[in-house]
Amino acid sequence: MNKSPYVIIGNGIAGITCARHIRKYDSDASILVISGESEHFFSRTALMYIYMGHMQYQHTKPYEDWFWEKNRIELKKTWITSIDTTKQQLISDTGEKIPYGTLIIATGSKPLTIGWPGEDLKGVQGLYSLQDLENMEDNTQGIQRGVIVGGGLIGIEMAEMLKSRGIEVTFLVREKNFWDTVLPTEEAELINRHIRAHDVDLRLGTELAEIISNGNGNVSAVKTNTGEEIPCQFVGLTIGVTPNISLLKNHPDIQSNRGVLVDKYFQTNIEGVYAIGDCAEFTESPGPNRKTIEQVWYTGRMHGETLAYNLTHEEKVSYKPGIWFNSAKFFDLEYQTYGHVPNNIPATLDTFHWENEAGTVAIRFVYDKTVGTIKGINSIGWRMRHAYFDKAIDEGWLFEKILTHLDKASFDAEFATKHTAAVIQAYNTIKKRNVSLPKKGFLKRIVTAFS
């Protein structure tokens, strides 16, 4: 059994889930969660809503402040500067020594930068932490234009944030289409159009070359790889995030690569020291088509759940994530994905994509070319039922069968426009198939009209 006290560095979703689950399984363990960023756990994913005035900081806390004391999860707000694995203690920036029995590193990510000229100017920043949000508030007071660099999920959120305050946005995306390292072309193009419909000056295939100062240490423009200068008072750098392992820089004893290296039990090379969440890097991919660094909210949670189980049970389980899922929102368009949908569909797979006329709803199926079993699905502007696709993909249901069940698989609100018929018709036309529409009696239609 592992030793109490459990000390967790990082109060994000991974660290907190782990702490909660340790408590769930072991009512005696002593648990301490340390973070330099905030006193309490808050939802990083909601940072944009604070800036846009949808919520205040306190609304982003998933648990009320009394929760921690009630569950005897001790919290400490401080930065850890080093780890002494022989004496089993942490040292904080104020010199405090904190002993641990078991150490869990859950320090998350930090924005990635690549050393552009001018990236240290005032008004240039990434968005990851509460402190970043405060800076952004400061840096965007009374400005006219911001430039966002990097076409990913945080970039588009930053664009939306600025637009909500009436600030003009130029969005530099290196790729041919928005986020097309993940999205297949049709989806990426749909999002391009949506971004432009929000009056964002989207520059595809454009890279940042340099950030130009106004002479007083503030940003005054950016120069792109085509040599164009775009005047602006703010630059958001959002080309991605990288595991935050600055803490380990002086600790070669804990092995790291891009992230803290762990096995499928989240164990580092040192016994009693674990890493979970964004900062962990698996020595071996946890499953087919899975990356060795998983940087999303959901995986952070699963890491925390699994590690807590292992720390409190004799029989260990290895980390086995189920069917992949993710979701995001691009301005007004929601996106969900289940299973395996690569941006370039390989030859062994077939795909069917449908989009409504207005370009506000789209769905893509990826399925086995020979046997027709479902592999994955993307949907935009159409909510899908997680439980349904988790099962369908896991059990390898026939894709054509799913087509006729789309109403059931849909998670859209009641009275929402139903697209099943249009999707099936398009499928039959394009793929020259003959899938019949789901039949519904008159009575059944009335009965289910409100369900």
- Least separation in angstroms between residue 170's CB and another protein is 20
The answer to whether 102 contacts ligand FAD (rule: CB under 6 A) is no
What's the residue count for the chain? 451
Tokens of 168: 């003009």
The answer to whether 290 contacts another protein (rule: CB under 8 A) is no
Tokens of 324: 């992949």
Preceding omega of 184 cis (within 30 degrees of 0)? no
Query: What is the dihedral angle through the alpha carbons of 12, 18, 21, 25, rounded to the nearest 10 degrees?
Result: -160
Tokens of 375: 């592999």
Q: What is the DSSP string of 41-63?
A: ---GGGHHHHHTTS--GGGG-SS
Q: Report the relative pairing of strands 102-105 and 6-9 from DSSP bridges.
A: parallel
In terms of CB distance, is 12 or 150 closer to ligand FAD? 12
In terms of CB distance, is 250 or 318 closer to another protein? 318
Q: Within 10 A of 314 (CB to CB), how many other CB atoms are there?
A: 6
Amino acid present at 109: S
436 binds, among another protein, ligand FAD, none (CB under 5 to 8 A by kind): none
The answer to whether 268 contacts ligand FAD (rule: CB under 6 A) is no
The answer to whether 115 contacts another protein (rule: CB under 8 A) is no
C-alpha 11/C-alpha 41 separation (Å) is 6
Among 1, 114, 347, 413, binds another protein (CB under 8 A): 413
The answer to whether 73 contacts another protein (rule: CB under 8 A) is no
DSSP 88: T
Among 75, 106, 260, 311, binds ligand FAD (CB under 6 A): 106
In terms of CB distance, is 162 or 212 closer to another protein? 162
Find all residues with CB under 8 Å of 194, minimum gap 6, and list them: 330, 331, 332, 333, 359, 360
The answer to whether 293 contacts ligand FAD (rule: CB under 6 A) is no
In terms of CB distance, is 170 or 238 closer to ligand FAD? 238
Among 21, 35, 275, 379, binds ligand FAD (CB under 6 A): 35
- Least separation in angstroms between residue 407's CB and another protein is 13
In terms of CB distance, is 98 or 392 closer to another protein? 392
384 binds, among another protein, ligand FAD, none (CB under 5 to 8 A by kind): another protein
* N-term to C-term CA, the chain: 50
Contact yes or no for 253/274 (Cβ under 8 A)? no
- Least separation in angstroms between residue 123's CB and ligand FAD is 19
Tokens of 385: 């039922």
The answer to whether 243 contacts ligand FAD (rule: CB under 6 A) is no
56 binds, among another protein, ligand FAD, none (CB under 5 to 8 A by kind): another protein
**DSSP H/E element including 56:** none
Q: Within 10 A of 410 (CB to CB), how many other CB atoms are there?
A: 19
The answer to whether 332 contacts another protein (rule: CB under 8 A) is yes
The answer to whether 55 contacts another protein (rule: CB under 8 A) is yes
46 binds, among ligand FAD, another protein, none (CB under 5 to 8 A by kind): another protein
Residue tagged 């390292």 (tokens): 181
Among 128-136, 148-156, 297-305, 347-355, which window interacts with another protein (CB under 8 A)?
Answer: 297-305
Contact yes or no for 219/122 (Cβ under 8 A)? yes
267 binds, among ligand FAD, another protein, none (CB under 5 to 8 A by kind): none
C-alpha 354/C-alpha 27 separation (Å) is 51
Q: What x/- string results for residues 59 through 98 when contact with ligand FAD is judged by CB under 6 A?
A: --------------------xx------------------
Q: Where along the sequence are the contacts to ligand FAD (CB under 6 A)?
A: 9-15, 34-37, 44-45, 47, 79-80, 106-109, 127-129, 154, 157, 244, 247, 277-278, 295-298, 300, 328
